[in-house]
Amino acid sequence: MIQRLSIHTLVAGFTMGGILLCLTMGFVIALAFPSPPPRMVSVAQAQVALTAPSPGVGWTRRISAEPPFPAIRTGQGRLVQSGLTVLLDADPADVRVRSLSQERAPASGRLNLNPEGSLSLGGKAFAAGLALAPGTTFAPFEAAVRQQDGRWLVVTPRLPLLTPQRLRMALAFLIVAAVLLPLALWGAGRLTAPFRRLSEAARGPPDRSAEAFVGGPREAADAARALDSMRDRLGEALRDRTTIMAAIAHDLRTPLTGLRLRVERLPLQSRGAAVADIARMERLIAQLLTYVRGEDAPWNAEPLDIADLTEDCVERQIALGRPVTLHVQGEHLVLGDRDQLDRALGNLIDNAVLYGDQAVVTVLSEDRWVWCTIDDAGPGLPPDQMEAVFSPFHRVETSRSRTTGGAGLGLAISRSIVQRNGGSVVLKNRCGGGLRVEVRFPRLDRRS
């Protein structure tokens, strides 16, 4: 027996696989695409932003009453501060610089620091020369200069929203998403496919093994086995019901036959009503047998024309002197059992005549369906009875007279036959009064 994995295990495996794939792709991208250099600015650009009437494109300017940041003594900020001090001809204590990047500017040579940590005169000259050399640029930095009133003028370069680092991250995200999305869809399909097959098996023919058809993880296989077991139990219960009802009907027919023979010996004036009651009981037994047999009834599907079938039903009604008319043109092919569909449509037309005084039958084709509508001139039905009348033994008319009385199985039998043929039966009240029965069948294409 094949050992199936559980959904819990599969989901955990897919999740861990996705995480590992993301980390691997990020590592590969980091190796394949080195970090791009940040935007670079020069000391001269900062000097223009500090001294010009306007800061210029790419810079912002503000006033601070207090020193905006502490003085810096090392790194690229020290070089920039030395260059700005020379360009602005300012006191070094009045110029401050803060780097906006972790990058360090390359420098050659050694800066000379005095014991207090500040640059010696030679070091200052060397740093200023290095910062102001033609083509020398630095990672983005802020610069501040003290004004005559004691306040500080601060300039900051505008950093673009899409920096090289962010573009690199977006590229990594898009590549990982492009790889993961198809895999995620494939994994989701693998997990949900068994349950889609399970729903197909539940709607499919009862003789199909759901366990063999579904497959998939352990939970889906367990559900399929439960479905097969439930089908077996239901089938056994239905067979038991059919056997019991058939036995009861058979046992009833024997005393009814004897009763009919005794009734035949009665005087003529008393015989008619008794014979009619016996005939009515026999009809009820026949209807009951037709209903309880249900799916066990033989079904010989063949191409047939609903127009011809309804015409036969209407002609039988007209032969009985009933007001039934038919509107149909052309051919309307379906695939079904002629005898069963004849019984279903005959029951529906009978109901229309008995409870609605007349029946107008119309057959037409639309798209993939063949429609057969049956209109009567009766009082219609209350909205809460539209579905209830299809229940076995349910009757809106409760007199059970010899004229209209029945077991309440006609509509249930008709709907069962039509649904077995892949169609549907719906009741609707007409705007002008009366009830409409809409019967829909799948249309049979000649090419198929």
Residue-wise pLDDT tens digits, 337-360: 888 898 889 989 988 998 888 899
Nearest-5° Cα angle at 389, 383 to 394? 130
Domain membership of residue 309 (yes or no) is yes
- Choose among 347, 342, 361: nearest CA to 409: 347
* % of the chain beyond a pLDDT of 90: 16
314 and 368 part of one domain: yes
- Whether the CB-CB separation of 215 and 194 falls below 8 Å is answered with yes
CATH of the domain at 367: 3.30.565.10
CATH of the domain at 252: 1.10.287.130
The pLDDT of residue 295: 54
309 and 425 part of one domain: yes
Domain membership of residue 345 (yes or no) is yes
SS3 string, the chain, reads CCCCCCHHHHHHHHHHHHHHHHHHHHHHHHHHCCCCCCCCECHHHHHHHHHCCCCCCCEEEEEECCCCCCCCCCHHHHHHHHHHHHHHCCCHHHEEEEECCCCCCCCCCCCCECCCCCECHHHHHHHHHHHCCCCCCECCEEEEEECCCCCEEEEEECCCCCCHHHHHHHHHHHHHHHHHHHHHHHHHHHHHHHHHHHHHHHHCCCCCCHHHHHCCCHHHHHHHHHHHHHHHHHHHHHHHHHHHHHHHHHHHHHHHHHHHHHHHCCCHHHHHHHHHHHHHHHHHHHHHHHHHHHHHCCCCCEEEEHHHHHHHHHHHHHHCCCCEEEEECCCCEEEECHHHHHHHHHHHHHHHHHHHCCEEEEEEEECCEEEEEEECCCCCCCHHHCCHHHCCCCCCCCCCCCCCCCCCCHHHHHHHHHHHCCCEEEEEECCCCCEEEEEEEECCCCCC
Domain membership of residue 191 (yes or no) is yes
Provide the b/e sequence for 247-267 (b: ≥16 CB within 10 Å): eebeeeeeeeeeeeeebeeee
418 and 342 part of one domain: yes
Domain membership of residue 114 (yes or no) is yes
Cα separation of 20 and 111, whole Å? 47
145 and 51 part of one domain: yes
The pLDDT of residue 120: 47
315 and 433 part of one domain: yes
Domain membership of residue 213 (yes or no) is no
332 and 366 part of one domain: yes
- Choose among 130, 70, 141, 73: nearest CA to 102: 141
79 and 179 part of one domain: no
Cα separation of 421 and 342, whole Å? 12
287 and 412 part of one domain: no
- Whether the CB-CB separation of 389 and 347 falls below 8 Å is answered with no
- Whether the CB-CB separation of 287 and 406 falls below 8 Å is answered with yes
113 and 21 part of one domain: no
The pLDDT of residue 311: 92
194 and 239 part of one domain: no
Q: Examine the fold and report which residue of 293, 323, 344 is the final residue of a domain before the chain moves on.
A: 293
Give tens-digit pLDDT for 358-403. 899 999 998 889 999 999 988 888 888 888 888 776 666 544 444 4
Rg of the chain over all Cα atoms, to the nearest angstrom: 46
Q: How many domains does the chain have?
A: 4
User: Would you call 122 exposed, middle or buried from its count of C-beta atoms within 10 A (0-12, 13-18, 19+)?
Assistant: exposed
Q: What are phi and psi of 326, to 5 degrees?
A: -130, 135
Name residues whose C-beta falls within 8 Å of residue 128's C-beta, 6 or more positions apart in sequence: 82, 83, 85, 86
Q: Examine the fold and report which residue of 293, 317, 341 is the final residue of a domain before the chain moves on.
A: 293
139 and 193 part of one domain: no
Domain membership of residue 95 (yes or no) is yes
- Choose among 80, 189, 201: nearest CA to 144: 80
438 and 324 part of one domain: yes
Domain membership of residue 212 (yes or no) is no
pTM to 2 decimals?
0.46
- Whether the CB-CB separation of 427 and 446 falls below 8 Å is answered with no
The pLDDT of residue 153: 93
The pLDDT of residue 3: 57
Domain membership of residue 90 (yes or no) is yes
Cα separation of 35 and 171, whole Å? 12
Q: Examine the fold and report which residue of 272, 293, 314 is the final residue of a domain before the chain moves on.
A: 293
Low-confidence ranges of the chain (pLDDT < 70): 1-4, 33-38, 101-127, 131, 160, 162-165, 250, 268-270, 273, 280, 283-284, 286-299, 393-409, 446-448
Cα separation of 19 and 184, whole Å? 12
| Full domain range(s) for residue 422 | 300-442
The pLDDT of residue 305: 92
Q: What is the mean pLDDT of the chain?
A: 78
The pLDDT of residue 138: 84
